[in-house]
Structure 1
């Protein structure tokens, strides 16, 4: 399925799309807002993991990240040695500071979320 873009001037609406690619960190990514749609200082995309799947340890060097979990659950491991552990469920809003190492492990029903970052393109640095 392709991304549907609607615009009447400066505002842009980006509609439904399928899985566009699997990111270096191991998560399904469907980009929506980025430099390609006119954004200068942020990007937004849907991300998801299948039940029990996990990302590799990674960080976003200069980008702050906000994640709204829409469906499912996951465990977020973060910090230099990944000893900070948080259970995250549908409806939770997560903030990850720029440069913070993290890894996500999907719960038994998987995890589906909207991710917004302060850079205008998907940019992950894999650490494993």
Structure 2
């Protein structure tokens, strides 16, 4: 388990965790996450929300707000960083600026 902070306007790279599940509990702020095989789904989570990501599901979290997002992350593998797979092939499917429309695929 660890604490994660996404700064205002911050964005992760598209990635997946091959062999473990992730549960995210948001303490403060509002975050968006694109997820799915082609990042075709979107969820918005805010303080008090819990978001679950199954193993092997590509995702890309970001902070569209003006305040930092702070969340507690729990994963089912103590060596979780070893199963992270970056997915640069999915980056163009998500808009550069949160709130804009993603390019057509």
Q: Which bin holds the TM-score, normalised by the shorter protein?
A: 0.7 to 0.9
Q: Which residue of 2 aligns with 1:117?
A: 75
TM-score by length of 1: 0.64
Could you tell me how far apart the structure 1 residues matched to 2:18 and 2:52 are?
14
More strand per residue: 1
Q: Which residue of 1 aligns with 2:98?
A: none
Could you tell me how far apart the structure 2 residues matched to 1:122 and 1:113 are?
17
Could you tell me how far apart the structure 2 residues matched to 1:65 and 1:59 are?
10
TM-score by length of 2: 0.77
Structure 1 residue ranges without an equivalent (≥5): 1-43
In the TM superposition, 1:72-111 aligns within 5 A as 72-108=29-65, 109-111=67-69
- The alignment covers a number of residue pairs equal to 85
- Residue 26 of structure 2 contacts residue 72 of structure 2 at CA under 8 Å; is this kept in 1? yes
Q: Which has the higher contact order (CA 8 A, sep 6+)?
A: 2
SS of 2:4 mapped into structure 1:
strand
More helix per residue: 2
Q: Deviations over 1:95-122 (max 9, x none)?
A: 0000100000113112110000000123
Q: CA RMSD in A?
A: 0.9
Structure 2 residue ranges without an equivalent (≥5): 89-105
Q: After TM superposition, where is structure 1 displaced by more than 3 Å over at least 4 residues in a row?
A: none
Q: Which residue of 2 aligns with 1:126?
A: 86
